[in-house]
Amino acid sequence: MRAKAILLFVAAVTFALGPFMVPGFGGLDPNLYPNPQVDPPVQPAGYAFAIWGPIYLWLIASTGFGLLRRHDVADWDRMRMPLLISLVIGTAWLPIAMISAIWATILIFAMLITAALAMHRAPERDRWWAVAPVAFYTGWLTAASFASLGLTGAGFGLLLDEVGWAILAILLALGTALFIHAGRRDEWVYFTSVIWALLAIVIKNFGDVWIVAGVALAGAVFLTAIMVRRITLNLQRPRARA
Residues above pLDDT 70, as percent of the chain: 98
Is the pLDDT higher at 44 or at 27? 44
Q: Is the pLDDT of residue 240 over 70?
A: no
Q: Is the pLDDT of residue 235 over 90?
A: no
pLDDT band for position 221 (cuts 50, 70, 90): very high
State how far the Cα of 56 lies from the Cα of 52, in Å rounded to an integer.
Answer: 6
- Summarize pLDDT for 40-92 with one digit per residue, the tens: 999 999 999 999 999 999 999 999 999 999 988 999 999 999 999 999 999 99
Q: Are 55 and 194 in contact (CB under 8 A)?
A: no
Is the pLDDT higher at 240 or at 177? 177
pLDDT band for position 37 (cuts 50, 70, 90): confident
- Whole-number pLDDT of residue 181: 96
- Whole-number pLDDT of residue 104: 96
State how far the Cα of 170 lies from the Cα of 147, in Å rounded to an integer.
Answer: 8
Judged on CB neighbours under 10 Å (0-12, 13-18, 19+), 131 is: buried
